[in-house]
Amino acid sequence: MEGVAPPLSLLLCVKRALEKGQTAKSGVMSYLKRHQGDFPDVVARWMALLQQGKDTHGLIKEISSPHRQILLQLLERGIRGESIYNMVVTLEEELVDACQEEISNKLARLPFLLLVPLLLFQFPAFLLLLFGPLLQNFFHSLGGR
């Protein structure tokens, strides 16, 4: 699942595990085995706290994304034995919508970002082409030939 948002990837691993009849914990563990990066490190710390029986709310509050916070809270409920499949399906739809919105926002900004090379490189070259003959005539008339 290269290129998929990390929380969506985690959610899909857990959903697949639940559909196979496994626990949410086994889905989280399979996600941790397959993925590396910042979010899997946070999930590994969260999982360690959960296995030790410690409070995970402090770690969850440190995460800036509300989608990631909700996902970890939902998975915590699933690991503790609640039925979460319906909520996982709903959260999957919301995460896909959020990813689509983020892609749309980045695509909307792209034309403006691509104007920067145009202004920095092509516009000065155009000005040289435009004013080159004019400056040549000006310097020729100053020379007095």
Q: What is the mean pLDDT of residues 78-105?
A: 94
pLDDT tens digits, 5-31: 899 999 999 999 999 999 999 999 999
Write a three-state SS string for the chain.
Answer: CCCCCHHHHHHHHHHHHHHCCCCHHHHHHHHHHHCCCHHHHHHHHHHHHHHHCCCCHHHHHHCCCHHHHHHHHHHHHHHCCCCCHHHHHHHHHHHHHHHHHHHHHHHHHHHHHHHHHHHHHHHHHHHHHHHHHHHHHHHHHHHCC
Whole-number percent of the chain with pLDDT over 90: 67
Q: pLDDT higher for 138 or 72? A: 72
Task: Kindly tell me if the per-residue pLDDT of 136 is higher than 80.
Answer: yes
Task: Kindly tell me if the per-residue pLDDT of 61 is higher than 80.
Answer: yes
Q: pTM here?
A: 0.76
pLDDT tens digits, 121-132: 888 888 888 888
Average pLDDT score, the chain: 90
73 confidence band (pLDDT: 50, 70, 90):
very high
